A and B are shown apart, each in its own frame.
Chain A
Amino acid sequence: MYHAKFQIWVGRLQQVFPVTHRYKCSATKAILSDPAIPTLDVAYITDPRNTHKIDKLIQSRKGKGDIHLVQKLWKEYNEETIEKMKSKKYEKFMLEACKIPNQAHSVLDSYGIEPKIVKYINDKRKFDFQPRDFADLCQKCDLLKTEFLGFLAGHKSYILKDSLAELEQALIQRTCDELLKKGFSLISVPDFLPSHVIEGCGMDIKAERGQVYTLDPSLHGDLCLSGTSEMAIAGFLSNQVLNVDELPLKLAAVSRCYRAEISSSFDERGIYRVHQFTKVEMFGVTKNDISQSEALLQEFVDIQSELSASYGIHCQLLDMPLHELGAPAYRKFDIEAWMPGRNMFGEISSSSNCTDFQARRLNIKYESGEDTYFCHTVNGTACAVPRMLIALLETFQNRYADTINIPEVLWPYMNYQKLLTPPVFPLKMRYIKSW
């Protein structure tokens, strides 16, 4: 009898993957309702000795921020004597100061505009036939619906079907299992966040409105759709004081990510760049010590490399140059997978050390003895589903393109299915084009 054999392995898995991290949580107060008050390193950014260095950093990052304006506003604030005016001047100063990007690792000064290739992962597969691209493969195997979906669900929408949808679930499950083995704790996060949380993570909602979806404010107040669970996790930790014994804290979340950015580039066709996708994210918190956060960053990069290597896809690990870093990042590593059907490398994961940039804006601290300090935060993609699917299908396609090999590590998660094939009973649905 099926139900007699049915087992749920939650209990056993809890023994294998013990939940080790204990952090405070409250069930009564809405923790994202109150914005955190940023506490910037004012001494550093207003010190005239640092002006040139910060200015050069802003120019190299091609980012926003004007250090001269910041220092001018600081001077005006200090010279102001009327209390009311002083607080207004302080607000103005903080607004501009928050735009100043994070410092960067000194090694990046030598990189120029090209990333440094740290290493290659796996060998590139040699094909004795012209490899097809992802869209072609899915059409042959009837695994993806994009046609006629735009009218119903918008541009760039897609439906994964049958074994491709199962592969998505397999990737998510395996990634989470591997992260749990490495001491991560799972957290389930909201996909909708108030704008102050997103801005606290270093994203300027107003300037980058093209990237962030917002909900109708007259109906839903100030709510945005989260582009990555990094923001929600950082929001969860905001205004919290962690115990030093809890650090380094490693959290992982599976979430639906929403990004409004569009691209008409041929290379980014299909599901390469979409508005909604599932991602497994890693988020880490360390003490206020650059060596610790760098070590955690390296650990994240190692995990990403291991995961990519285990699938058998050819990748390159890149140490990103200054202009590729977002405002919060001190250092960033990307992994790009070879996509034979597109004949190009495509980014499948990214890891950043944000040092205390986010912690200062979201008030994430830890206590050690009687003192509290700002944490360092690190984040990284463990698995971004659409691009991983592209890399897997295009790498492991077979000559006649109606079967695709599944990497061995995913077999247990696919009911030991070894091939992606067209469904036994294809869907015979015809869209009504005209009435």
Chain B
Amino acid sequence: MRFSSRIFVWKLSSTFGISGLSNESCFMSTQPLCKFKKINQIEVYRIKSGQLAALSECYFSRSCYTAAVVRPESYLTIPGALGRQVDSLVKPCIDKMQLVDFQRLQYNLNERGYRLNARELLELWKNYEDIIAEKAKIESRRKENSKIGKQLNKKSGCDLQKEFDTVKETGIKLRNEAKRIQKILEEIEVPTMMKLLSLPNDYCDEPFKTLSFGEPSGYSVSGDENIVLALNSPDSFHFMTKENAFLELKFCNKLLQYLLNQNCRLISPPDFVKSAIVEGCGIDYSEVFTMNEQDSSDPFRVVGGASLPAMCTLVARTTLRNETPLRFSTLGRCYSVSDGTNIFESSQRTCVQSLSLVNNEQSSGEVDFMVDKLINFYSVLPVHFRVSKAPLSSLKRYEKAKISFEMYSQSKKKYIEFACVSNIGEFISRRLNVYFHPRGEGQFVNFVFSTCIDFNAFVHCWNDNGRPSLVE
């Protein structure tokens, strides 16, 4: 058992039903706990006084308390009974429209390499919705029945006894039915939500003509000069010296100033985020760094201020009243797990990122706008690069479409992406609850996320192509 999981202390009745809940707390276990049983995805352990550090003695009496240890598979969903009692950070809204055309969905899944069956997912979702609907019906009948009972109460007369009995019997039947349905719901809720939340974004059919700028250098080089590998196991980091460090400072700042002149607003976000933010962006935990927090069930993830999750902390769980497009930029570090030894595969990259908040109609126009602006910036440089639409198979989970800026690496004999513009649509805002005012279905903010420069990739290609002079 991972002692670092979230622990809720429950008081058990003699029939081992869950009857009470302490405050949500994280405790360190001082001794191994004895496993009892599994209830609603919750692994339940029997504990006695002194077995949980920092747990107040007032929770213990002669009765035996059992700690319910939750192992959250997802920080976006809280399973069953706990979901009603704990205020979750965000409440994701599933995009049901994605499930309607399951052939399109299956194509999307196949192209992106997901081993999921769209038809099965649709049935899973329908089953879930049917149970929700049935539960609602039963609740409605219970209310009606209760109303009838109250009306009978107001009347008087001994001939009403039969009717009272009927109402009472119906009430008991409906309550048992409700319990049964609730149990089924709690059993299927987590697996259903987890499967649906693991779905990637839809894809965009719009074509894009590949553009090419500048002349290939024909330069032949042997590697990255003045770039030193700092660490390479399990993650890789680099030092950059001399002109590379100089260029990192000046070039990225120049690009940033250019973006600010395009009505971007500069922000400096935090580097640590909660797991729900990472998951809400559709990023796997294996791709980000995790802090060493033994006594926490939700350790911080270190993503870097110039990253999508960090920028989302500005807008997560908010309603927006500004006119759109609303553009934000940031310059800083972006961290992601990587063990490649090349500078463009480094776990730490310096990036200039831009996040545009738009409505549905503005989404594709905003992509064109950002692509144009980046082309304007880079096309004056004496470097060869191409701009093309990335294939569906290379898209990240949160991307609907991506326009990729690539330079040719002489040493690696391939094009390497140094900038991109991604159309994300509502994918993240549905998961992180970013709405237009007034809040409601159909009011989700659309995201367009641009990596205006991944400096590590840029400097590799710049070095590789003979370090063309970036002068006046």
- What's the Cα separation between A9 and B247 when bound, in Å? 10
Q: In this assembly, does B464 line the interface, its C-beta being within 8 Å of a C-beta of chain A?
A: no
Min distance, Cβ B38 to any Cβ of chain A, angstroms: 25
User: Which listed residue, B228, B240, B246, touches A10 by the CB 8 Å rule?
Assistant: B246
Which of A90-98, A187-195, A285-293 lies at the binding interface?
A187-195
Given contacts A26-B228, A429-B319, contact A153 B248 (CB under 8 A): no
User: Which listed residue, A11, A188, A232, touches B470 by the CB 8 Å rule?
Assistant: A11
The answer to whether A219 touches B251, judged by C-beta atoms less than 8 angstroms apart, is no
> Of A161, A169, A190, A215, which is in contact with the most chain B CB atoms at under 10 Å from its CB?
A190
- What's the Cα separation between A151 and B230 when bound, in Å? 34
Q: In this assembly, does A431 line the interface, its C-beta being within 8 Å of a C-beta of chain B?
A: yes
Q: In this assembly, does A235 line the interface, its C-beta being within 8 Å of a C-beta of chain B?
A: yes
- What's the Cα separation between A157 and B314 when bound, in Å? 11
Near A by CB (< 8 A), chain B positions 70-92 give: 87, 89, 91
Which residues in B have their C-beta under 8 angstroms from that of A149? 270, 313
The answer to whether A6 touches B377, judged by C-beta atoms less than 8 angstroms apart, is yes
Which of A30-38, A111-119, A311-319, A364-372 lies at the binding interface?
A30-38
User: Which listed residue, B273, B322, B333, B472, touches A427 by the CB 8 Å rule?
Assistant: B322
Q: In this assembly, does A262 line the interface, its C-beta being within 8 Å of a C-beta of chain B?
A: no
Q: Mark B301-332, 1 if CB is under 8 A from A, else 0.
A: 01011000010011111111111001000111
The answer to whether A190 touches B239, judged by C-beta atoms less than 8 angstroms apart, is yes
Q: In this assembly, does B100 line the interface, its C-beta being within 8 Å of a C-beta of chain A?
A: no
The answer to whether A154 touches B272, judged by C-beta atoms less than 8 angstroms apart, is yes
Given contacts A25-B239, A215-B292, contact A221 B471 (CB under 8 A): no
Q: Mark B229-262, 1 if CB is under 8 A from A, else 0.
A: 1111111111111111111111101101110110
Q: In this assembly, does A158 line the interface, its C-beta being within 8 Å of a C-beta of chain B?
A: yes
Min distance, Cβ B80 to any Cβ of chain A, angstroms: 17
Which residues in A have their C-beta under 8 angstroms from that of B380? 3-4, 6
Q: In this assembly, does B66 line the interface, its C-beta being within 8 Å of a C-beta of chain A?
A: no
Q: In this assembly, does A275 line the interface, its C-beta being within 8 Å of a C-beta of chain B?
A: yes
Which residues in A have their C-beta under 8 angstroms from that of B348? 190-192
Which residues in A have their C-beta under 8 angstroms from that of B269? 153, 159
Which residues in A have their C-beta under 8 angstroms from that of B245? 185-188, 253
Q: In this assembly, does A266 line the interface, its C-beta being within 8 Å of a C-beta of chain B?
A: no
Which residues in A have their C-beta under 8 angstroms from that of B266? 161-162, 165-166, 169
Which of B149-157, B193-201, B219-227 lies at the binding interface?
B219-227
Q: In this assembly, does B299 line the interface, its C-beta being within 8 Å of a C-beta of chain A?
A: yes
Which residues in B have their C-beta under 8 angstroms from that of A214? 291-292
The answer to whether A154 touches B300, judged by C-beta atoms less than 8 angstroms apart, is yes
Min distance, Cβ A58 to any Cβ of chain B, angstroms: 31
Q: In this assembly, does A225 line the interface, its C-beta being within 8 Å of a C-beta of chain B?
A: yes
Given contacts A11-B469, A11-B472, A423-B265, contact A432 B250 (CB under 8 A): no
The answer to whether B331 touches A10, judged by C-beta atoms less than 8 angstroms apart, is no
Which residues in A have their C-beta under 8 angstroms from that of B271? 256, 258, 276
> Of B239, B267, B318, B323, which is in contact with the most chain A CB atoms at under 10 Å from its CB?
B239
Near B by CB (< 8 A), chain A positions 303-338 give: none
Which of A12-20, A44-52, A75-83 lies at the binding interface?
A12-20
Q: In this assembly, does A254 line the interface, its C-beta being within 8 Å of a C-beta of chain B?
A: yes
User: Which listed residue, A6, A12, A220, A276, touches B289 by the CB 8 Å rule?
Assistant: A220
Min distance, Cβ B292 to any Cβ of chain A, angstroms: 4
Near B by CB (< 8 A), chain A positions 157-208 give: 157-162, 165-166, 168-169, 173, 176, 180, 185-192, 194
Q: In this assembly, does B290 line the interface, its C-beta being within 8 Å of a C-beta of chain A?
A: yes
User: Which listed residue, A10, A166, A191, A215, touches B291 by the CB 8 Å rule?
Assistant: A215
What is the interface residue range for chain A against chain B? 35 or more
- What's the Cα separation between A278 and B302 when bound, in Å? 15
Q: In this assembly, does B347 line the interface, its C-beta being within 8 Å of a C-beta of chain A?
A: yes
- What's the Cα separation between A119 and B253 when bound, in Å? 35
Min distance, Cβ B28 to any Cβ of chain A, angstroms: 15
The answer to whether A153 touches B272, judged by C-beta atoms less than 8 angstroms apart, is yes
- What's the Cα separation between A430 and B420 when bound, in Å? 30
The answer to whether A187 touches B240, judged by C-beta atoms less than 8 angstroms apart, is yes
> Of A169, A214, A275, A434, which is in contact with the most chain B CB atoms at under 10 Å from its CB?
A169
Q: In this assembly, does B119 line the interface, its C-beta being within 8 Å of a C-beta of chain A?
A: no
The answer to whether B322 touches A425, judged by C-beta atoms less than 8 angstroms apart, is yes
Q: Mark B267-284, 1 if CB is under 8 A from A, else 0.
A: 111111110110000000
Given contacts A9-B250, A159-B314, A429-B321, contact A236 B239 (CB under 8 A): yes
The answer to whether A161 touches B272, judged by C-beta atoms less than 8 angstroms apart, is no
The answer to whether A189 touches B239, judged by C-beta atoms less than 8 angstroms apart, is yes
User: Which listed residue, B230, B272, B315, touches A190 by the CB 8 Å rule?
Assistant: B230
Min distance, Cβ B288 to any Cβ of chain A, angstroms: 10
Closest partner residue, chain A, to B472 (CB atom): A7
- What's the Cα separation between A187 and B227 when bound, in Å? 10
Which residues in A have their C-beta under 8 angstroms from that of B98? none
The answer to whether B231 touches A194, judged by C-beta atoms less than 8 angstroms apart, is yes
> Of B245, B253, B261, B273, which is in contact with the most chain A CB atoms at under 10 Å from its CB?
B245
User: Which listed residue, A166, A194, A256, touches B333 by the CB 8 Å rule?
Assistant: A256
The answer to whether A159 touches B241, judged by C-beta atoms less than 8 angstroms apart, is no
Q: In this assembly, does B437 line the interface, its C-beta being within 8 Å of a C-beta of chain A?
A: yes
- What's the Cα separation between A10 and B249 when bound, in Å? 10
Near B by CB (< 8 A), chain A positions 247-285 give: 253-254, 256, 258, 275-276, 278
Q: In this assembly, does A128 line the interface, its C-beta being within 8 Å of a C-beta of chain B?
A: no
- What's the Cα separation between A428 and B315 when bound, in Å? 11
Q: Mark B170-211, 1 if CB is under 8 A from A, else 0.
A: 000000000000000000000000000000000000000000
Q: In this assembly, does A84 line the interface, its C-beta being within 8 Å of a C-beta of chain B?
A: no
The answer to whether A192 touches B265, judged by C-beta atoms less than 8 angstroms apart, is no
Q: In this assembly, does A29 line the interface, its C-beta being within 8 Å of a C-beta of chain B?
A: yes
Which residues in A have their C-beta under 8 angstroms from that of B300? 154
The answer to whether B274 touches A153, judged by C-beta atoms less than 8 angstroms apart, is yes
Q: In this assembly, does B22 line the interface, its C-beta being within 8 Å of a C-beta of chain A?
A: no
Min distance, Cβ B357 to any Cβ of chain A, angstroms: 10
Q: In this assembly, does B359 line the interface, its C-beta being within 8 Å of a C-beta of chain A?
A: no
Q: In this assembly, does A110 line the interface, its C-beta being within 8 Å of a C-beta of chain B?
A: no
Given contacts A8-B470, A149-B313, A190-B238, contact A33 B246 (CB under 8 A): no
Closest partner residue, chain A, to B260 (CB atom): A166
Which residues in B have their C-beta under 8 angstroms from that of A434? 87
Near B by CB (< 8 A), chain A positions 359-411 give: none
Given contacts A220-B290, A223-B235, contact A432 B319 (CB under 8 A): yes
- What's the Cα separation between A2 and B228 when bound, in Å? 37
Given contacts A19-B242, A425-B322, A430-B321, contact A192 B274 (CB under 8 A): no
The answer to whether B229 touches A27, judged by C-beta atoms less than 8 angstroms apart, is yes
The answer to whether A12 touches B244, judged by C-beta atoms less than 8 angstroms apart, is no
The answer to whether A28 touches B229, judged by C-beta atoms less than 8 angstroms apart, is yes
Which residues in B have their C-beta under 8 angstroms from that of A4? 380
Q: In this assembly, does B146 line the interface, its C-beta being within 8 Å of a C-beta of chain A?
A: no
> Of B229, B261, B333, which is in contact with the most chain A CB atoms at under 10 Å from its CB?
B229
Q: In this assembly, does B376 line the interface, its C-beta being within 8 Å of a C-beta of chain A?
A: yes
The answer to whether B223 touches A27, judged by C-beta atoms less than 8 angstroms apart, is yes
Q: In this assembly, does B433 line the interface, its C-beta being within 8 Å of a C-beta of chain A?
A: yes
Q: In this assembly, does B138 line the interface, its C-beta being within 8 Å of a C-beta of chain A?
A: no
The answer to whether A8 touches B318, judged by C-beta atoms less than 8 angstroms apart, is no
Which residues in B have their C-beta under 8 angstroms from that of A235? 230
The answer to whether A31 touches B268, judged by C-beta atoms less than 8 angstroms apart, is no
Q: In this assembly, does B439 line the interface, its C-beta being within 8 Å of a C-beta of chain A?
A: yes
Q: A11-B471, A13-B246 are in contact. List 10 more A-B contacts (CB 8 A).
A: A8-B381, A10-B250, A10-B470, A14-B243, A19-B246, A30-B231, A187-B239, A216-B291, A216-B299, A256-B305
Interface residues of A (CB under 8 A from B): 2-4, 6-14, 17, 19, 23, 25-33, 145, 148-149, 151-154, 157-162, 165-166, 168-169, 173, 176, 180, 185-192, 194, 213-217, 219-221, 223, 225, 232, 235-236, 253-254, 256, 258, 275-276, 278, 415, 423, 425, 427-432, 434-435
Question: Can you give 16 A-B contacts (C-beta < 8 A)?
Answer: A14-B246, A19-B243, A27-B223, A27-B227, A30-B233, A31-B228, A152-B89, A152-B276, A169-B253, A173-B249, A188-B248, A214-B292, A258-B271, A428-B321, A429-B319, A430-B319
Question: Closest 5 interchain pairs by CB?
Answer: A11-B471, A190-B237, A428-B321, A188-B240, A186-B245
